[in-house]
């Protein structure tokens, strides 16, 4: 009678623990995962926003945009007027003057000598130039503007690349956190099971080997949990570095990413039309073609208008101290050592290089789209299978716990069922993460906006 009461007392905690394990497996996905004490909860949306704040990678690309913008200003300088003002002071020795009185007839009124060169002579010159027509300069301005647009597009692509890294790190942290949570719950069940087996050993219902087996399972799961916690800390730290945080963080599973089109040819068209780096290469080719036009325009004449105003404190033979000259200059470059022909060959080489780079990129996109599409299909199929397997494992654990309490199943059967339940749960987590990441990676390859990217940029 006493033996039965002891057995009944130890059966209930084990059954409760197993049922709690199944319930927590269903509810744990909606909670913040792997939350250390005092950790900051970071959603995927917030991670995207933090990743773009004080980001050295993006700052480097923005600096290139500023450099390209400076090239636009340099191109404009060839088309804008120029104004120069200069002043001078000259100490002359000797002083030069001309006395007209020496040549005047006797009795003529005296006149002051005409000073040609003073000892202290001052001068002021104002020069302005207006380019009326410079054919190459207009084309070079277009080249510079296309350079700015291409640099901005490369910033967009680099930002998308970085956000993909953030998403990969975020889901790696999610997976590590959920696995750690599952192992923590499994360790709790192991502890309950060990207590039950020890109690049964006291009443002679189990062998000593059953206790040793339960202890071994507990130790193995505790070591697996320790390793998983280390992996979780590393994953969280890597994500924190990517988003610029220096504090413990916790993660929450985001909504399921949107599905992408299944048609492979439609995917490729979307990628070639929407990807920023493809558009940047198109602009590079257009800029090289415009640079070739600039070389052609360099064979045409140029027309400039210049104005020169001078003032000095010596009038000389003139009746005023200032002069004004307006000059129109028509220039025709005849020979410059073959520079224009070299520039043309250079522009044609850049055109060919850009076209080859665009073809290579298109081929790489097609190859990657095929692979990512296959990965996504495999991940979706694997998720369906993993979901069914997890549901089956949960049912088997419940049934095996009841049978174990009824005495129709052994401890080994129960341990095997709980282990399979753990493995199925881990496989479900990894399959779900693989599906979500495959969707995000495929959307990134197609040049589509990352989830939450619009909000993160606000």
Look up the pTM and report it.
Answer: 0.81
Distance CA 126, CA 77 (A): 19
373 and 325 fall within a common domain: no
Beta strands in 277-359 (DSSP E): 302-312, 322-331
Q: What is the DSSP string of 209-229?
A: HHHHHHHHHHHHHHHHHHHHH
362 and 442 fall within a common domain: yes
Distance CA 356, CA 362 (A): 10
* Domain CATH code at residue 435: 1.20.1600.10
Q: Is position 457 within any domain? A: no
In sequence order, which residues have a C-beta less than 8 Å from that of residue 241 and are 6 or more positions away? Answer: none
Q: 320: pLDDT confidence band, cut at 50, 70 and 90? A: confident
From 283, 311, 332, the end of a domain falls on 332
CA 151, 153, 156, 158 torsion: positive or negative? negative
Count Cβ atoms below 10 Å from residue 27 Cβ, excluding itself.
9
Q: 30: pLDDT confidence band, cut at 50, 70 and 90? A: very low
From 332, 347, 380, the end of a domain falls on 332
221 and 325 fall within a common domain: no
In 298-410, where does DSSP find H-type helix?
A: 339-406
168 and 226 fall within a common domain: yes
More confident residue, 440 or 454: 440
pLDDT at residue 95 greater than cutoff 90: no
Q: Is position 455 within any domain? A: no
Q: Is position 440 within any domain? A: yes
From 285, 312, 332, the end of a domain falls on 332
219 and 266 fall within a common domain: yes
Distance CA 208, CA 202 (A): 10
Q: Closest Cα to residue 180, out of 257, 250, 256?
A: 250
- Residues 174-198: b if buried by 16+ CB within 10 A, e if exposed: bbbbbbbbbbbbbbebbbbbbebbe
195 and 326 fall within a common domain: no
Q: 392: pLDDT confidence band, cut at 50, 70 and 90? A: very high
User: What pairing do the DSSP bridges indicate for beta strands 120-133 and 322-331?
Assistant: unpaired
Residue 203 CB burial class (10 angstroms; 0-12, 13-18, ≥19) = middle
In sequence order, which residues have a C-beta less than 8 Å from that of residue 86 and are 6 or more positions away? Answer: 124, 125, 127
The one-character DSSP state at 253 is P
pLDDT at residue 454 greater than cutoff 60: no
pLDDT at residue 11 greater than cutoff 70: no
144 and 185 fall within a common domain: yes
> Are 243 and 344 spatial neighbours (Cβ–Cβ below 8 Å)?
no
Mean pLDDT of 344-351: 96
| 386-393 LR contacts (CB < 8 Å, sep 24+) | 386/424, 386/427, 386/428, 386/430, 386/431, 386/432, 387/428, 387/431, 389/424, 389/427, 389/428, 390/25, 390/421, 390/424, 390/425, 390/427, 390/428, 392/424, 393/417, 393/420, 393/421, 393/423, 393/424, 393/425
Mean pLDDT of 192-217: 90
Q: Closest Cα to residue 451, out of 278, 268, 274, 255?
A: 255
**Mean pLDDT lowest among 86-90, 113-117, 355-359:** 113-117
CA 433, 436, 442, 444 torsion: positive or negative? negative
Q: Is position 194 within any domain? A: yes
How many domains, in total, are found in the chain? 2
323 and 377 fall within a common domain: no
Q: What is the mean pLDDT of the chain?
A: 87
pLDDT at residue 288 greater than cutoff 90: yes
Mean pLDDT of 232-245: 94
In sequence order, which residues have a C-beta less than 8 Å from that of residue 30 and are 6 or more positions away? Answer: 253
The one-character DSSP state at 453 is H
Q: Is position 103 within any domain? A: no
CA atoms within 13 A on the CB side of 254: 22
Q: 100: pLDDT confidence band, cut at 50, 70 and 90? A: low
**H or E stretch covering 120:** strand 120-133
Count Cβ atoms below 10 Å from residue 389 Cβ, excluding itself.
18
Q: Is position 175 within any domain? A: yes
In the block, which residue shows the tokens 């990657």? 368
Q: Is position 104 within any domain? A: no
* Domain CATH code at residue 326: 2.20.200
Which residues constitute the domain of residue 90?
A: 80-97+114-133+303-332
- Tens-digit pLDDT profile for residues 145-161: 999 999 999 999 999 99
Tokens for 245, please give them: 């945080």
219 and 230 fall within a common domain: yes
88 and 12 fall within a common domain: no
**H or E stretch covering 69:** helix 56-77
Q: Is position 431 within any domain? A: yes
63 and 86 fall within a common domain: no
> Are 197 and 211 spatial neighbours (Cβ–Cβ below 8 Å)?
yes
> Are 302 and 330 spatial neighbours (Cβ–Cβ below 8 Å)?
yes
193 and 275 fall within a common domain: yes
pLDDT at residue 2 greater than cutoff 60: no
Bin 363: left if φ > 0, else alpha if -120 < ψ < 50, else beta.
alpha
Phi/psi of residue 380, each to 5°? -65, -40
- Tens-digit pLDDT profile for residues 358-387: 999 999 999 999 999 999 999 999 999 999
């Amino acid at each position: 009678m006493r033996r039965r009461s002891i057995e009944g007392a130890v059966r209930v905690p084990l059954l409760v623990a197993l049922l709690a394990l199944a319930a927590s497996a269903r509810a744990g996905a909606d909670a913040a995962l792997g939350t250390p004490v005092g950790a900051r909860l970071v959603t995927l949306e917030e991670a995207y926003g933090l990743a773009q704040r004080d980001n050295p990678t993006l700052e480097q690309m923005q600096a290139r945009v500023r450099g390209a913008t400076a090239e636009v200003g340099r191109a404009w300088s060839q088309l804008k007027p120029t104004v120069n003002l200069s002043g001078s002071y000259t100490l002359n020795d000797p002083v030069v003057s001309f006395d007209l009185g020496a040549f005047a007839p006797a009795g003529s009124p005296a006149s002051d000598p005409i000073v040609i060169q003073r000892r202290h002579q001052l001068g002021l010159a104002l020069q302005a130039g207006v380019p009326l027509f410079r054919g190459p300069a207009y084309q070079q301005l277009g080249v510079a503007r296309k350079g700015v647009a291409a640099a901005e597009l490369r910033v967009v692509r680099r930002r998308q690349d970085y956000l993909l890294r953030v998403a990969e790190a975020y889901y790696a942290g999610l997976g590590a956190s959920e696995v750690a949570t599952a192992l923590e719950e499994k360790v709790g069940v192991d502890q309950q099971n060990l207590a039950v087996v020890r109690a049964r050993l006291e009443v002679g219902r189990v062998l000593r080997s059953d206790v040793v087996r339960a202890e071994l399972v507990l130790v193995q799961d505790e070591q697996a949990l320790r390793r998983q916690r280390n992996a979780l800390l590393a994953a969280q730290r890597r994500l924190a570095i990517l988003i610029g945080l220096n504090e413990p963080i916790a993660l929450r599973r985001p909504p399921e990413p949107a599905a992408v089109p299944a048609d492979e040819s439609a995917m490729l068209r979307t990628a070639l039309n929407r990807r920023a780096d493809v558009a940047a290469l198109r602009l590079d080719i257009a800029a090289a073609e415009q640079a070739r036009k600039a070389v052609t325009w360099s064979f045409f004449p140029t027309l400039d208008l210049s104005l020169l105003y001078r003032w000095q404190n010596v009038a000389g033979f003139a009746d005023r101290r200032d002069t004004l000259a307006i000059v129109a200059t028509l220039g025709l470059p005849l020979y410059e050592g073959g520079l224009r022909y070299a520039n043309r060959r250079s522009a044609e080489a850049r055109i060919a290089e850009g076209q080859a780079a665009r073809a290579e990129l298109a081929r790489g996109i097609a190859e990657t789209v095929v692979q990512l599409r296959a990965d996504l299909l495999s991940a979706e199929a694997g998720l369906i299978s993993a979901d069914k397997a997890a549901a089956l494992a949960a049912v088997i654990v419940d049934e095996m716990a009841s049978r174990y309490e009824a005495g129709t199943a052994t401890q080994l059967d129960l341990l095997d069922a709980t282990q399979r339940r753990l493995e199925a749960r881990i496989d479900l987590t990894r399959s779900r993460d693989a599906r979500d990441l495959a969707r995000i990676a495929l959307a990134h390859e197609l040049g589509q906006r990352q989830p939450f990217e619009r909000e993160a940029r606000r």
